[in-house]
Structure 1
Amino acid sequence: MKVLYVTNMYPVEDYIYFGIHVKEQIEAIATQGDIETEVYFINGRAKKWNYFNSIANIRNKIKNGNYDLIHIHYGLSALFLLFYQPKIPVVVTLHSGELYKKKGILNHLAQKSITMAALKNTNRIIVLNDDMVNLLYKHKQKLVKLPCGIDLNTFIERNTSQPEQELIVGFPGNKARNEKNFKLFKEIIDELRKTFNIRIVEFHNFTRNEVLHHLQTLDVLVMTSLVEGSPQIIKEAMACNRPIVSTNVGDLADLLHNVKNCHVINSFESAALLKPIREIFSLSAEHRKTNGREKLIQMKLGADQVAKSVIHVYNEVL
């Protein structure tokens, strides 16, 4: 099977973890049997005009590439479907940003309009959480809920000894992105610093080894986001058995259900998140751990398991 991947999310030199989960999923799929993969990257961050250039470029690739199937990552990458309908099956994975307001209202309306129009010309729509399923209910016959997976061989728990006088709190993302709600995170940290010596790790543009190292030494990961799909950093922290406190966004309620020392809070008030964080800090260092890895295995969210599930979707539409 030869698959063309079309995506506007892929690592670039100045943003090395941008779309890393897309890249890693494609690589995992390529290891699962007789699958040949090719990637067409729309670098919309470099130049918005690249989206319009992609319309003709993708059409030519499909015409000459002898592909069996197209898999699109992110709704805006499906712009070409408004102008050209391939004769081979099309699968699209939506990553939430194309459906929910994360930037300005005009940007949001344009992305959502293009995405919703393009979905009519797809065979399967992969989404990340139940909220997305509900939003796209009219496409229910095409929908598959399948979050991206995690490399369980890379992200592992490691026993580390941190100085007890210093507690390490992770912020999962780029604080400059409004939807990550750094303002709330800062309120929480300012309050904690009245009692504890806190060091912050901002998980932004790290290499995979750096992400792993910092996750393995965290005392807690605190997500204050307003909107998420199925955050990879949460699953990576789970694989390392690290405590997590988060607002109730994306699929966090599913991921962290019955995971010890992890809390999903139905509030954007700092006091509501401070309580479970203080509970975690009250534990001894050796007890600040979770059964998150076990939960990921139970949910079949290892990278290889998810790759097999994606290939099953391919086989359904071929």
Structure 2
Amino acid sequence: MRILAVTNLWPEPGSFRGVFVAEQVAGLRRLGHEVDVEVVAQARGTKDYLLAAPRVARRARSGQYDLVHVHYGLTALSARLVGALPTVLSLYGSDVNTPWQARVTKLFDGRPAARVYPSRRLVDAAGDPAGIVVPNGVDFDLFQPPSEQERAAARAALGFGPDDKVLLFGAAPDNPVKQYDLYEDVLEALVAQGVAARELVLPGPGQTRADVVPKFAAADVLLVTSRQGTESGPLVVKEAAAMGLPVVSVDVGDAAEVLAGVTPSAVVPFPARRDDLVADLVWAAAEVLAAGARSDGRSKLGEYSQDAVIARLAAVYESVVG
């Protein structure tokens, strides 16, 4: 098939934003599909959501495409003029959970032939009985459990000693959705309890996709502190589990589904008070660190392999075009 992907989520230079969309596109191309990508907003600014519609329409008309795959609800604004081409719309979190974004999405989504969600929780939040779950996939070839020698080398290269307890923060600290301040509070509380907790941030300037692997290898736990109702994944939870890195996460996106039965790891519900959330995360992180073991996550993640996920998405395309 010939597919036009229209997205506001794309890893432009120096960014990992939307890397899961890029990996999805690469997987489709490996299956023999021709996929072109039109990036909306991002470097052009938010006004491009409104201004991009003629550009997207011209490209859709000239490319002899079988379908258009729109990624993210607000991007539907830019794809509203593609005409009779079948459209698949992927929704990712804020476009469902943030009321004004949900309203804009419903107003301009063009009644797509299929709506795709990365988790059952998001389907339920959208109240969409016809919603199709296709989770974001993990590259099992890239994210492999490290050997003890690889772990030791990664820790030494990043400046960590054998007794350090390294807590990985899986996002850019300046992204308010990820709540780096909550991560800092948990780290500080662990140190106050006598834990030799050390900080490690996953993104970095000029970093390639492969450069993140040693950070997963060096860490003792991934700590996810995202704001309630903002995540569809997060993908970093799957990547950590695939590498055997224990995860302590707030109950966002599909974290609870992914980590079900994975040990050691923990998912912490959101209490009413922030202080209670800090205390619960500190307790869970201390328990996981005390276990001192890698997780069995990889053995539980077969359905999230990139190949399995791409096959499911291709099946959605075939049903739409057929």
1:258 aligns with 2:261: yes
Secondary structure of the 1:148 match is coil
Q: Which moved more, 1:268-277 or 1:1-10?
A: 268-277
Alignment of 1:29-44 (within 5 A): 29-32=28-31, 34-44=32-42
**Helix, strand or coil: the match of 1:282?**
helix
Counterpart of 2:213, as a letter, is: L
TM-score by length of 2: 0.88
**Structure 1 residue corresponding to 2:166, chosen from 165, 168, 174:** 168
Structure 1: 4+ residue segments shifted above 4 A: none
CA offset at residue 80 of structure 1?
A: 3.3
Cross-structure match for 1:156: 144
Please provide the CA RMSD for this pair.
1.7
Kept in 2: contact 1:168–1:219 (CA 8 A): yes
Q: What is the identity, as a one-letter code, of the residue corresponding to 1:203?
A: L
Question: Do residues 272 (structure 1) and 270 (structure 2) align?
Answer: no
Establish whether residue 28 from structure 1 lines up as the match of residue 27 from structure 2: yes
- Separation (CA, whole Å) in 2 of partners of 1:265 and 1:133: 21
The CA distance in 2 between the partners of 1:209 and 1:86, in whole Å, is: 40
List alignment gaps of at least 5 residues for structure 2: 156-160
Aligned-residue sequence identity (percent) comes to: 25
Find the aligned partners of 2:280 and 2:217 in 1 and give their Cα distance. 26
Question: Secondary structure in 2 aligned to 1:193?
Answer: helix
Residues 41-89 of structure 1: per-residue CA shift (max 9 Å, x gap): 113343223222310011111111110011111111111344x252121
- Give 3-state SS (helix, strand or coil) of 2:68's partner: strand
CA distance in 2, matches of 1:13, 1:41: 13
Structure 1 residue corresponding to 2:95, chosen from 68, 91, 98 = 98
Q: Which amino acid aligns with 1:207?
A: T
- What amino acid sits opposite 2:90 in the alignment? T
Distance 2:82 2:6 in 1: 14
The Cα offsets for residues 229-283 of structure 1, whole Å up to 9 and x where unpaired, read as 1111111101101000011111111100000101001135111111221122223
Structure 2: how far apart are the matches of 1:46 and 1:193? 43
Aligned to 2:4: 4
Paired residues of 2:168 and 2:219 also in contact (CA < 8 A): yes
* Matching residue of 2:116: 126
Q: How far apart, in 1, do the equivalents of 2:58 and 2:108 lie?
A: 19
Residue 193 of structure 1 corresponds to: 191
The count of residues paired between Structure 1 and Structure 2 equals 301
Give, in angstroms, the shift of residue 172 of structure 1: 1.6
- 1:51 matched to which residue of 2? 49
C-alpha displacement of 1:289:
0.7
Residue number in structure 2 paired with 1:225: 226
Report how far residue 174 of structure 1 moved: 1.8
Structure 1 residue runs of 5 or longer lacking an equivalent are: 102-107
Displacement after TM superposition at 1:210 (Å): 1.9
Which residue of structure 1 lines up, in the alignment, with residue 319 of structure 2? 316
- 8 Å Cα contact 2:70-2:79 kept in structure 1: no
Q: State whether structure 2 residue 106 is matched by structure 1 residue 116.
A: yes
Q: Which moved more, 1:306-315 or 1:36-45?
A: 36-45
C-alpha distance in 1 between matches for 2:306 and 2:176: 29
Counterpart amino acid of 1:115? T
**Aligned amino acid, residue 40 of structure 2:** I
Tell me by how many angstroms 1:197 deviates: 2.2
Counterpart of 1:185, as a letter, is: Y
Q: 2:60 aligns with which of 40, 57, 62?
A: 62
